[in-house]
Homo-oligomer: A and B are copies of this chain.
Amino acid sequence: MNYRMELQYEGTRYNGWQRQDSTENTIQGKLEQVLCRMTGERIEVQGAGRTDSGVHAKMQVANFHTEKERRPEDIRNYMNRYLPEDIAVTFCTEVSERFHSRLNAKGKVYQYRIWNSEKPNVFERRWVYEYPDKLDIQAMESAAGFLMGTHDFKSFCTRKKMKKKTVRTITGIRIEVFGEEVRITYEGDGFLYHMVRILTGTLIEVGIHERSPKDILHIFEEKDRSAAGFLVPAKGLTLLNVMY
């Protein structure tokens, strides 16, 4: 049996999605613990996106294989009873044997929230980044225009050991202002390690006129991390949706 779950979590307390040998304080680890308890089997959970330490999810997708058939609602209810209160299964359904939440994902939506004010934000402080300097939204929007489309995003990622393909397609960047909040939503076929956070840092540097929107073209040419903007904190980032 193969089950697909939709998940929500507040990433604040966790070392990201991916289970590590050294620590069990990961989202994947917590889910697997509860599933082992339920099934008596050793379960491996596959997540669509391996969110970093401190990153949140409003809609993450994950799947797991198990020998015994169960009602999907029973799985959801069991999980929600035993998971910590900052992780929840919002939906569970049986899927075909071959479904793989990461390999089958066609696109993802991430949102970065900037609290662009000198006042503290008491209620949303765990998932917004406080950046008080005034941002020029129009300049950021024209920079976003240069970012959209298919490019080699090598400059916009922190290099990991393995050399992988760094070409990605961004199908949409929406910048919205809600009162004192600036919310940037990215939609694309996939995102490299730290990519959304470096894109956001670069857009902020355009927003405070440290760069011009056209700098983006230069950053693409350099193919070097140091050409791009700063890495914004993880806590402002939320995985909003996964498309199949």
Binding site for B on A (CB under 8 A): 8-10, 56, 58, 80, 85-88, 90, 119-123, 125, 127
Q: How many copies does the complex hold?
A: 2
Contact of A123 with B85 in the complex, beta carbons under 8 Å: no
Binding site secondary structure of chain A:
loop
A9 near B120 (CB under 8 angstroms)?
A: no
Chain B residues whose C-beta falls within 8 Å of the C-beta of A120 in the assembled complex: 8, 80, 85, 88, 90
Q: Which residue in chain B gives the minimum CB-CB distance to A85?
A: B125
Choose one: B58, B88, B119; the contact of A88 (CB below 8 Å).
B119
Whether B80 contacts A123 by the Cβ 8 Å rule is no
Residue contact A122 to B10, C-beta cutoff 8 Å: yes
C-alpha spacing A239/B225, complex, angstroms:
47
Name the residue of chain B whose CB is nearest to the CB of A73.
B118
Say yes or no: B9 contacts A122, CB within 8 Å: yes
On chain B, the residues within 8 Å of A58 by CB distance are 123
Closest Cβ neighbor of A57 among chain B residues? B122
Query: Which of A10, A80, A121, A122 gathers the greatest number of chain B CB atoms within 10 Å?
Result: A122
Contact status A10-B88, CB under 8 Å: no
A76 CB to closest chain B CB (Å) equals 8
